[in-house]
Amino acid sequence: ETGVTQTPRHLVMGMTNKKSLKCEQHLGHNAMYWYKQSAKKPLELMFVYSLEERVENNSVPSRFSPECPNSSHLFLHLHTLQPEDSALYLCASSQTQGFIYEQYFGPGTRLTVT
Amino acid sequence: SQQGEEDPQALSIQEGENATMNCSYKTSINNLQWYRQNSGRGLVHLILIRSNEREKHSGRLRVTLDTSKKSSSLLITASRAADTASYFCATDVLYNQGGKLIFGQGTELSVKP
């Protein structure tokens, strides 16, 4: 978790709300990731940004909208979510040059949709 | 389909015993990584083994890789209650502009004092 911060740590929102999750990495990495982790399910990769360009979008519903303004910051904008979107959302960063180095994860945002 | 699948899904042992977790994957890899997650927290990288390596050690951790069988194992020796966590293997997929890791479902390890 060192070097990657996420805010907020906990978020409760109604289905009609709009909120954003923020991730910041202080490691000088060139790739950032959003994952969703639901109970009893494997980690789901949502988005990958490499050199600030989105290079992966794993069929994520449009109610999730990522933004990567620079190599250190990553946002996940949320709107009109569903209760099944309640989960732990994890941000990670890594260096990717020829192969993938280890990923460094933030502590996660625990999201509850009511 | 899952690239990495861990076995067993859950493991309960006594402090001092060794814990072995296995991971199988489907496609060619450059490296395989193991991560640990304490309940409700982010994942922490434990060890990376490259496709041309067969065994790697880090403290009480020993990882093996058999590319012919597309499998890896993580051994934790002399386990402690603090080792209680979920353990995930992850394999890499590279493409032109970047890469990603595919995580398995994880093994929940419980070490009883």
Hey, is the C-beta of A24 within 8 angstroms of any chain B C-beta?
Answer: no
Cross-chain residue pair A101–B48, CB shorter than 8 Å: yes
Residues A50-66 as b or e (16 or more Cβ within 10 Å = b) = beeeebbeeebeeebeb
pLDDT (tens digit, 9 = 90+) per residue, A21-73? 999 999 999 889 999 999 878 889 999 898 778 877 778 999 999 999 999 99
Does the CB of A55 have a partner CB in chain B at under 8 Å?
yes
Nearest chain A Cα distance for residue B12, angstroms: 18
Q: Give dist(CA B110, CA B113) in Å, integer.
A: 10
Nearest neighbour of B45 by CB, restricted to A31, A55, A103: A103
Neighbours of B76 (CB within 10 A): 23
pLDDT tens per residue across span B15-45: 999 999 999 998 888 889 999 999 888 899 9
CA distance B47 to chain A (A): 8
